[in-house]
Structure 1
Amino acid sequence: MIRPADPALMKDKELIELVDAAIDGFHGNLNDLGSAIGMLMLSRRYGWKVMLLTHSPGTIRKYLKILGLKHLREAAPELGELSRRSNAWRLVEDTSNFWKVVRGQIGGVRSAIADPALGAASARTPDAMPDTTTEPGVDKHKT
């Protein structure tokens, strides 16, 4: 179930301040910093549960340490408007196995694959949707 944004979650200004603080205090591999920031930004739209299904527990801990967070719940909703795009989330959303998958007790579910054809209708724009009015390989914009 997708929940409305929690007013207790970080606002955009607070997120930018968090990211700036992480950048200012960072010492290490910039790939890790960029990945941590990317996870934070994705979690705002996908939710922290999807991030836990996407990344290993060790990776989550590393990214949270870089960001100075104890848990993604501090910055992201449980589920975001794009959570249904996640293949992993769709596999576990109607079961009681979420935490078993996160802990690795059930394998074969963790996935970073997202399908833009699924998810919130508001996230889909006509330009992003496939054109089914012409034959494959025919460019409808050519004159």
Structure 2
Amino acid sequence: MYTLNAELVYAKGFVADVYFSDRRLVGLRLVADSRDRPLSLPNLFRLAQAWFPDQMLSVIYQVLPDDPQRIVVDSLIGTIPDVFRRELGRAALPFCRAVVFSRAIASTPLTTCPQHRLSSVFFDNLGLNKSS
């Protein structure tokens, strides 16, 4: 995978669950793997643009609130089947959301984190209500 500047995108430091629909990649869940170097938030956004170059997409993620390196604990790029949504958010951290634009637009992702954390309404809409 390559960025707009033709930089090769390579990633490690997480376990990936990959989701396809009609033979097309539609979503990725990335969970930090403690056996390897961690994935930072800027690198998560870079991966999202590389893996989904022609789309504007939603990325939800968890980071430790006081982590200056913004290491990603859990994340979802794109969409996943409903049956797997309960697997998200095993860490007791708030989810944040970002909109990552296609590589053609080359814009900085818009994010709600850490200033605007998602409310329980967001979890309800995704079927991620933490109280159940």
TM-score by length of 2: 0.25
* Structure with the higher fraction of residues in helix conformation: 1
* Structure with the higher fraction of residues in strand conformation: 2
Larger Rg: 1
TM-score by length of 1: 0.24
Q: Which has the higher contact order (CA 8 A, sep 6+)?
A: 1
